[in-house]
Structure 1
Amino acid sequence: MRHRRRRITWKGTALVVGGVAAGCALVTYVPQDATVETPFVVEGAVGETLDLTYAELTVTEVRVADTLTGLTEGAVAGGTFVVVDATWRATQGQTAFSGAEITDAQGRTFWPTNQAGCSTSTSAQPGYTWHTTYCFDVPRDALDGATIRLARGDQAEEHAGQRRDAVAVVDLGISGPEVDELWEATETVSLEEPGFATASTGGSEG
Structure 2
Amino acid sequence: MSAPSIRDIGARHWAVVAVILAVTAAALLWAGRSAICACGTVELWHGALDAGNSQHIADWYTPSHIIHGFLFYGLGWLVMRSRPPGERLILAVAIEAAWEVLENSPIIINRYRDATMALGYSGDSVINSVADVAWMALGFAFARRAPVWVTVSLAIGFELLTLWVIRDNLTLNVLMLAWPIEAIKTWQGAG
| TM-score bucket of the superposed structures, by smaller chain | under 0.3
Bigger relative CO (Cα 8 Å, ≥ 6 apart): 2
Give the TM-score, by structure 1 length: 0.25
Give the TM-score, by structure 2 length: 0.26
Q: Which has the higher strand share?
A: 1
